Amino acid sequence: MNPFVKIRRDLHLIPELGFQEFKTQAYLLSYLETLSQERITIRKWKTGLFVKVQGLNPRKTIGYRADIDGLPIVEETGLEFSSTHNEQMHACGHDFHMSIALGVITHFVQNPIEDDLLFIFQPAEEGPGGAEPMLKSDIMQEWKPDLIFALHIAPEYPVGSIALKEGLLFANTSELFIDLKGKGGHAAYPHLTNDMVIAACSLVGQLQTIISRNVNPLDSAVITIGKITSGTVQNIIAEKARLEGTIRTLSDESMDMVKQRINAVVKGIETSFECEAVIDYGSMYHQVYNDEEITRDFIQYMKTQTTVDVIECKEAMTGEDFGYMLKEIPGLMFWLGVDSTFGLHHAKLNPKEDAIEVAIDILTSYITYQGN
């Protein structure tokens, strides 16, 4: 078995949520300590890591980021290396991302190049957001790379392929939490209450009119309410309701407009249902915007490689806090084909592990080309 496939399986056993990746950090450190320490400097940041690999004659620093957290999902893959952590799963491929990064580090410890390399193992990508505070950390300011790369697994593309485009790749995203408070009471006396189940249902429908009637049809935006909680038992009218969702847009301007309309719609719900409402936009992720010049160079280089097919794709409504790093540091993110029947964040996601070796090969090749 490829050693980095084994590492992926080890990490898949121990998924942890954002800023709780203690076992994950310990596992990464234990592997890194097996490598020659002559050119490696490792520094902890919360539950993440910065790993610097010193070059032979550095002129610049090349950065690479891998996210390390899991999701609050009950795994249903049936794999022999399924998650051992209750209701937590690597359902977004971060186990792949980490094992690939370790493979690339191993290569450059054994085969140093001219330039310095900085590998960033970032916690809390799935929430509450680790990229922005990591970017602002003293360690990052001291070791800040001149360009930076990352990948994300893509179940819809075959193994042996990568997909990317110049410019916007992933959308702006924002969490959305709305709490409603009315007046509960007996189910037989609805006229004496303010029913928050009815208010919540009305609000969900009205939120969708923002997309259908306030967003330019030539633009794109999404409001998804993925969770509603309300009530206690079947014969008591609910006093409270909570809606949890997400907003996705392809521009900062559209995000601002959508939020303004949400604020207005919620005020209307307060008036019409005589209730109180509180909106919390939670974590917001900046769009992933690939530097045009670097991306063109990357695509041209990859098209010369016989081991990978390059697909120039459309932008996606996916959110990724790597966008904060690309906002300050030129670079790119690309999709890595892993050919899974089930998609990202699905309890049965099962990416093909052959993609790990593909990714290590193309990344070491391109970084060598960049750094010598």
**Per the residue annotation, which of 16, 67, 116, 239 is the catalytic one?**
67
Q: What is the dihedral of CA 123, 24, 329, 150, to 10 degrees?
A: -110
**Active site includes 166?**
no
Q: Which of the residues 21, 75, 95, 126 is marked catalytic?
A: 126
DSSP state of 191: G
- Residues 262 and 210: beta-carbon distance below 8 Å: yes
Token reading at 9: 């399986």
CA distances from 25 to 38, 43, 269, 302 (A): 21, 11, 45, 32
Per the DSSP assignment, residues forming a β-bridge with 242 are 179, 229
For every residue of 1-55, DSSP letters joined together read --HHHHHHHHHHTS---TT--HHHHHHHHHHHTTS--SSEEEEEETTEEEEEE--
Cis peptide before 155 (omega within 30 of 0): no
Distances (CA, A) of 358 to 64, 109, 149: 16, 19, 16
In the numeric block, which tokens belong to residue 327? 């906002």
- Give the integer Cα–Cα distance in Å for 182 and 90: 38
Query: 243 near 225, Cβ under 8 Å?
Result: yes
Q: What is the 3-state secondary structure (H, E, C) of 295-362?
A: HHHHHHHHCCCCCCEEEECCCECCCCCHHHHHHHCCEEEEEEECCCCCCCCCCCCCCCCHHHHHHHHH
Check if 270 is active-site.
no
Q: How far apart are CA 119 and CA 360, in angstroms?
A: 14
Catalytic residues: 67, 126
